[in-house]
Amino acid sequence: MRKKIGQRIGFSFLFLFLLITLLSLGTIIYFIVAKGAGAISWQFLTQSPKDAMTSGGVAPAIIGTFYLILGSIAFSFPLGLACAIYLCEYSPKGYIINIIRISINNLAGVPSVVFGLFGLAVFVKFFGFGVSILSGALTLGIMVLPQIISASQEALLAVPQSYREASFALGATPWKTIKKAVIPPALPGILTGVILSVGRVAGETAPIIFTAATLYKRGYPNSIFEEVMALPYHIYGLMTEGTHPAQQKEIAYGCAFILLVLVLSISFLAIIIRQRQRRKNG
Amino acid sequence: MDNNIRIEVKDVNFYYGKKSALQNVSMDIKKNKITAIIGPSGCGKSTLIRLFNRMNELIPNTKMEGTINLDGENIYSSKIDVVEVRRQIGMVFQKPNPFPKSIFENVAYGLRVNGIKDKKYIREKVEKSLKNAAIWEEVKNRLFDNALGLSGGQQQRLCIARALAVEPEVLLMDEPCSALDPTSTRKIEELVLDLKKKYTIVIVTHNMQQAARIADYTAFFMMGDLIEYDITDKIFTKPSKKVTEDYITGRFG
């Protein structure tokens, strides 16, 4: 009987840890909703900031963040998937490929501010894109590239070899095998990587400080070569600069709330796409 | 060249890394006959038939020596397109491996990857292949259901239909019944006997009764060597080698 008690205590501890995790998550969400939801209004969502960022809305920041997400994923998803396909399906296995794999994994651990500096040096200065949506989206895209490659690789490796053999045995070329027999069952896993990346792109501040973001901009950007407002940087600005901390704090929580909703809804959309794909795969 | 020979194996050696899996194998596979390959596990029988459609190339660090001719042409010649070889030689695997797609799409797969777009042709071909694989009656009302919902025996017949759809000349079967129950096995055996009219069939089996029931010719392998290859009746009644007799009478293996 003593063994059973030991087990029970063990599992109680595991449950306790789960509770602590859920509690902290819940608290974060509660605070943001409690403090931020009140700021949300039609005007807040559709207008530009007014009176030195103490009133008005944050529409340009929402749009800016949206552009940055779109741009960075449009860049990093095809590139990352292509890298993963090459690494898993085409490249000869061996020592060099292993080094490349390890390097990619290490790249995922590089602090985001380093990517920001890289973006400043390469996209803003060297390519001359300036502080712009383009520079920011590319910087963010490069930041999440390792994550997308790793997730895609894992998803591709999880596809049973028997699918590849069946396809080859029917006279399919390697490319058709990848396109029709390997990618479809791997897609849910690949999309999971993209979902996580969207969350990171939406929330990161450091990479866009030098490459894309501005604290205040009149109206909306007209081209990808303009700088933009973005939600995370707007929050940072509201909390560190300006002359009316009390009102600004309220707006900052409103921004945080929108950011949360934005990321959750994008994730939700991706989950729906993933579920549909899974159903198709059976 | 003998017109009745479809596949000619000449002095074939095969290695996984440094380990030899086949030594000096030479044999002729006759047209429109069923050739069974038997032998204890690890004797090289699967390795051999996977050489017929160049499947072993997918495994890294392997080496093949010798020639294999399909209708007189060396499929290992550098001029040969491996994709074309695989289209002419269909394969059914040990474990049923339908794609996670609909029953219809599984059979249509080979047609689609070979560039056929004509919808009417694909529809007819899918129906014909499913009929040839004796599974049409069971699936005709649920062609667009996921193939993974079928039973193991049905999945294996679906895989046969899938292989037949691209009209191969040769059908390779790598222990196709090893994961199936006796009823499904009987159905597949009947099907194989029926398919013999149109196809040359090479079947690897660890089930000697199965070889005796369906094969015209039987080859016995041991540790990568072709020990004996003859008419099935002769192998099972009057084998010329002692080890063959020991194996078929169940003294080992």
Strands of chain B, DSSP E: 5-16, 19-30, 34-38, 62-70, 73-74, 89-92, 170-174, 200-204, 217-222, 225-231
> Which residues in chain B have their CB less than 8 angstroms from residue A170's CB?
86-87, 90, 109-110, 113-114, 162-163, 166
* C-alpha–C-alpha distance, residues A47 and A124, integer Å: 29
For chain A, give every domain's residue range. Answer: 40-281
pLDDT at B224 over 60: yes
The residues, ordered by sequence, that sit 6+ positions from A129 with a Cβ below 8 Å of its Cβ are A123, A135, A138, A225
DSSP-derived 3-state class of residue B230:
strand
* Helices and strands in chain B: count of H runs, count of E runs: 10, 10
How many CB pairs below 8 Å do chains A and B form together?
A: 79
**Residues B47, B22 contacting (CB under 8 angstroms):** yes
With cut-offs at 50, 70 and 90, classify the pLDDT of residue B250. Answer: confident
Q: Do B93 and A281 touch (CB under 8 A)?
A: no
Return the domain boundaries, chain B: 5-248
Are B55 and A181 in contact (CB < 8 Å)?
A: no
Q: What pLDDT was estimated at residue A282?
A: 52
Is residue B63 predicted with pLDDT exceeding 90?
yes
| A35 close contact with B: CB closer than 8 A | no
Contacts of A107 (CB under 8 A, 6+ apart): A145, A146
Q: Which residue of A has its CA nearest to B111?
A: A170
Residues on chain B touching A166 (C-beta within 8 angstroms): 93, 97-99, 159, 162
Q: Could A170 and B166 be called an inter-chain contact, meaning their C-beta atoms sit closer than 8 Å? A: yes
Phi (first) and psi of residue B66, to 5 degrees: 100, -170
Element (DSSP H or E) covering residue A170: none
Cα–Cα distances (Å) from A140 to A75, A133, B74, B112, B136, in that order, read: 9, 10, 53, 39, 53
Cβ-Cβ contacts under 8 Å, A181 against chain B: 99, 109
Task: Please answer yes or no on whether B163 and A171 come within 8 Å at the CB atom.
Answer: no
Q: How far is B110 from chain A (nearest CA, A)?
A: 5
Fill in the amino acid letter for B110: G
The encoded tokens of residue B5 equal: 């020979």
pLDDT in tens, A50-93: 766 667 778 888 889 989 999 999 999 999 999 999 999 888 77
| Residue B149 sits at the chain A interface (C-beta within 8 Å) | yes
Interchain CB distance below 8 Å, B99 and A176: no
Q: Is B17 on the interface with A (CB under 8 A)?
A: no
Alpha helix (H) ranges present in A50-94? 59-85
Collapse the DSSP code of A6 into the 3-class scheme (helix H, G, I; strand E, B; otherwise coil) and give the result: helix
Decide if A174 contacts A57 (C-beta within 8 A): no
String of DSSP letters for A121-140: IIIIIIS---SSHHHHHHHH
Tell me the nearest-neighbour CA distance from A158 into chain B, angstroms. 14
What are the chain A neighbours of B62 within 8 Å (beta carbons)?
A: none
Put simply, whether B101 touches A (Cβ < 8 Å) is: yes
Nearest to B157 by CA among B77, B96, B104, B240: B96
Residue A95 confidence (pLDDT): 85
Contact B34, B203 (CB under 8 A): yes
Q: Which of A163, A165, A173 sits opposite B83 (nearest CB)?
A: A173
Supply the pLDDT for residue A1: 58
Are B38 and B229 spatial neighbours (Cβ–Cβ below 8 Å)? no
CATH number of the domain at A40-281, please?
1.10.3720.10
Q: Name the A residues in 56-115 with CB < 8 Å from any B CB.
A: 92-93
Q: How confident is the model at residue A280, as a pLDDT?
A: 67
Q: What is the pLDDT of residues B168-183, one digit of tens each?
A: 999 999 999 888 888 8
User: What part of B 169-228 touches A (C-beta under 8 Å)?
Assistant: none
The answer to whether the CB of B196 falls within 8 A of the CB of B33 is: yes
pLDDT beyond 70 at B196: yes
Model pTM score:
0.83
| CA dihedral over B168, B171, B172, B173, signed as positive or negative | positive
The CATH code for residues B5-248 is 3.40.50.300
Residue type, A268: F
**Partner residue facing B86 (CB), from A162, A171, A281:** A171
* DSSP letter assigned to residue B76: T
Joined together, the tokens standing for residue A224 give 């990808």
Half-sphere exposure of B195 (CA within 13 A, CB side): 35
Mean pLDDT by 10 residues, chain A (282 residues): 80 94 94 87 80 75 90 95 92 84 90 94 92 93 94 93 94 93 91 87 90 78 84 88 80 90 83 77 57
Q: Which residue has the tokens 């029709």?
A: A180
pLDDT of residue B2: 64
Percent of chain A with pLDDT over 70: 96
CB A141 within 8 A of CB A71: yes
Give the separation between CA A227 and CA A11, rounded to whole angstroms: 52
B94 at the A interface (CB within 8 A)? no
How far, CA to CA in Å, does A19 sit from each of A15, A23, A25, A27, A208?
6, 6, 10, 12, 35
CB contact B148 to A (< 8 Å)? yes
Query: Hey, is the C-beta of B160 within 8 angstroms of any chain A C-beta?
Result: no
Crossing angle of the two packed helices A245-281 and A183-203, in degrees rounded to 10? 180
- Whether B110 and A160 lie within 8 Å, measured CB to CB: no
> What mean pLDDT comes out for the span B110-124?
94
Best of A89, A98, A162, A170 to disrupt the B interface (most B CBs within 10 Å) is A170
